[in-house]
Chains A and B, each alone.
Chain A
Amino acid sequence: MKRSKLGFWLFLAPCLISFAIVVLIPTIIGIYYSLTDWKGSGNANFIGFENYIKLFTNDNSNFWYSFGYTALFAVTAVICINVVGFALALLVTKKFRGATLLRGIFFMPNLIGGLLLGFAWQFIFKQVFNAIYTATGMEFFRNWLTDSTTGFFALLIVMVWQMGGYMMIIYIAAIQNIPDSVIEASAIDGAGGWRRLFSITIPMVVPAFTVGLFLMLSNSFKLFDQNLALTKGGPNHCNEMLALNIYNSAFVSNETGYAQAKAVIFLISVATISIIQLIATKRAEVET
């Protein structure tokens, strides 16, 4: 078949042009900005690695606190979301009346945007929790979202609520891929429910587990909407995650060059997670 070069480029052009303008060129310009003292308007002077040096030695914008907070949150959220997702999957994998309905309910929060969920839960944590405290006197429900502990766990609850059903769907697909013959054989050999769970189900869904682990890790690392809507990172920046910290540097304090240096560090962190993920998934695929 005759293949024209012109055809190739014509078919590629719409994606390539928008991709270049929206992703490629901004990434390059962004790295350049991180080496300048640009404040969002006026002149930009090239200052070498000064922004990075300041970031690593003398940061006064809470960046490393946010970094630690985000890392801790990402690890905690990944574990909780995957455990809840897997548990939900075990509950509804077997067909029974209502199983589809339950799946539908567990998955639904995932479709609603992070911003709306954040606002909805803000209402729950502020109004409903305080009302429960007033009614019962249980300290646990008092003053949520007013410090970093309740802010952290509130965000965790929101994320588990939102993403638990998503992971459930992925685990259900994995569990249904286990061949019936394997399960029948184990039943003939006399394996009970728990034994089957630990000796067959869990080992067989390990590949799905790697997918889920890293998907949620990079997702939680990049979390923005929920953080913004739930607490705005406050009070006093104590619940501010990385993405929001960069956003505030860029648009609230107008330290464009400095914010861009943070963004480059952010990019390197996220890219590292994703590259480890790729290697891990490839390895898992080879082994199974």
Chain B
Amino acid sequence: MTDVTDVTDMTDVTEETDEEPAPTGVDPEGDPLLRTRFALPKRPATFLRRPRLARHLDEALRTPLTLVDGSAGAGKTLLVADWATGLREPVAWLTSDTADQAPGVFWAYLLGALRAARVPVAAEVGCPAEASRVDQRTLIRLAADLERRDHTTVVVLDEFDRVTCTEIARQLQFVLHHAGRGLHLVLVTRTEPLLPLHRYRASGEITEIRDAELAFTTDEAGELLSRHGLHLPASAVEALVERTRGWAAGLRLCALAARRGPDPGTYVKQFEAGHSAVADFLLAEVLDRQPPGTQDLLLRISVLERFCPDLVNALTLRTDAETVLAALHRENAFVHYLGQSWYSLHPLFAEILRAHLRERSPGLEPELRRRAARWLRRSGALREALVQGAAADDWEFTARAVVDDLAIGRLFTGLRSEDLSALFSRMTPEVTGPVPDLVRAARDLGRRDLEHGLTHLRRASQEVAEAAGDGPEPAPVRLSCALLEALAARLTGSPGRAERAAEQARGLWRHVPEQRLDEHPELTALLLTHLGSARLWAGRFEDARTALSAVAGHPGGAVMALPRWEALGHLALIDYLNGWPGRAEHKALAAAGEAERHSLPRRSGSGLGPLVLAAVHVDRDELDEAQALLDDEAVSRPAVEDPVARAGRTVVRGRLLLARGDARAALAAADEPVPADVGSPWAREQSALLASAAHLAQGHPDLARQAVDRMAPHRTACAVEAARVRLAAGRAEEALALIDGLPDGDRPGPAVAVRATLVRAQAAYETGDRGTAHRLVARALLDGRREHLRRPFLEAGPWIRPLLSTGRLRELAGGWLLPGRPVTTAPAGHPGFAVEELSARERDVLHRLADMLSTEEIAADLHVSANTVKTHLKSIYRKLGVSRRAEAVRRAREARLL
């Protein structure tokens, strides 16, 4: 350091007083402590700005990545916070947490940090709602969003050493690469991050500030010590720098310890000559020299990561936390100030202080955690409260907190559901009572461990019922019980039980605080989804639709994503079973969109959406697409699932096998049992229809008749199949009678109607009425064309082929069923195919694509990197639903985007 006065002048203004803007909507889980993780720590009065480092950080803006990598207590965090405060560019700050190891959590919080910094990303980026997963498309869109901006966004990840997940490192690298100049990433860490640093080094894309550079020079150390009121001769400072290796924390602690002693000079000399471990020794010295009240406070807060004066008072049972914390921050000893009255313990000291606490007051730690848990719960920080409660092994409190807050649904849905469930993994069997049993049942059922889940639920239900003697359990307990009952009913295929649970819940709503229900919309949503699923199983489609529509239309963030997605999948299945493939497809795609936006699913399997889409593809004779969906779906299928999903899959798989000509395998699928407490009319019907069709395909109308005649003759789908069987046996009159005898009440959608019309047409054809046959086939073509229902025509039999090859029928079949030009009057393109809005940049790329420019040419033309163009291309392909350039241009012309 050459000019110390210069430094002094600059640091006069370092005490931060300006109010932190309260970030809005940053919180995926309603966690009030979260904003403290987005806050830049404030610099204390004793902070020494070191221009050589600030300059280096400024220069670093030229490289996409800055790594500040040094030992604990080297002054990294305050250095970067000080530098970042003076930047013109927007700065998003995220202090990592050991609980962020899952990619979904990490990215949700990173997106939260961008919102807190008032540079939110576009809604299309989405936000993960499950801990373990982030959708690649979310990362692509995030990178593209950052890249599109006309300024660089600086993202600081502090304490990045806590992130040890290789997947997150790979994803960060991906976003950094594709965001180009739109993102400058600063990693503050004390261990080498898992990014491929050698590659960044080789290409000169990284700036590193490491221990050697972070170490204080003798001049800087002299200045720092005098700020702490310790004025030493240059030789003593030099010796001290040597002893501490210029380590910031060592210098600061030494100053604090020396200043409080009788003779600072001698103290420093003794310390220099000593052989103790620096931080260990100095911390103990500084601690010893604090007033007893401060010592006690420091030891007690070592069980907390972040704290405010009121919380600290709850641990010390005193009232002086505010003054003590302010004084500690002023001295830059032990604590960081995060703004809005919140502090965090300097990471270096937390563990040492905890060691001192255990030594001085053995057994106090659980008590402190219990008190912290209660304070946190009162303040609405449920997650932190649960973490502390679990760490104190206070299971009665922890389980009660979840249930009484109506948060039991959070064990099933939301970003933190797995964490929350894992918290209770240490709960021992000695902990008894209805509430712990409810939590056990929820965890087991959430993992689809039916055997244990049902046992725990039975016990909990009994305990809740028996408690009525000496005062009933409070409404939240009974409501949580009803939710789990509904889930159990859904999983076991027991509609009556689900209705009873829903009935029970209805009686309880008004006995719980309305505000709590509003805070936990997932509770009602999950219950209605389970109820809807059970009703669907029972074949009560309209009642199921009522329950499910309420969920599908409900807004809300991450916790609502899963129920909404499930409800959409069920609604899609209902449409499919009613013969409306277009509507089914629409809802299944909406479910897929929901899944993509929220990086669903993993734990919950892939849901009904892909099954329904596969079924629609089979109806359209797009067999490879159907197969691909089923193969994909098989990968993420949970071991145990509800009977609706089981039966749905069996039907689709069987239909696909049959369409591929494997009637034997289709028959086997039709025979597959679906375990459930109560049978399902539609599952039985679908199996019978499949079996009948498979027998027909094998040339056994008699067996087909056996299969289908057991079914309800008043259902159109059954009557149509029964009529087909008659036709195959050469009994056209009987077939017609079956169809004509249908009541008017059952009005299925086109998938069934087209098949019915074709059966009539065949009957007319075989009784020699060619004119009627012609007219009916024309109607079937008109009805089937809109939905591209090819399968019914392919299954109709050889008689239809000559009809389709000439005249008006050929025209009607052209372009979708047979090769040729469509005679459609509707606009070209896929009906119902909504093109997602392209961004201005994507349009730029698209126009150049149409001009046959190569990726490199487009990049040069738009002054961006080739990788950026590739990102845009991916986005364009996705939005247009294509996979190649030529297709993209064609589809864009159809949609009049060009």
Whether A and B are associated in the same complex: the answer reads no
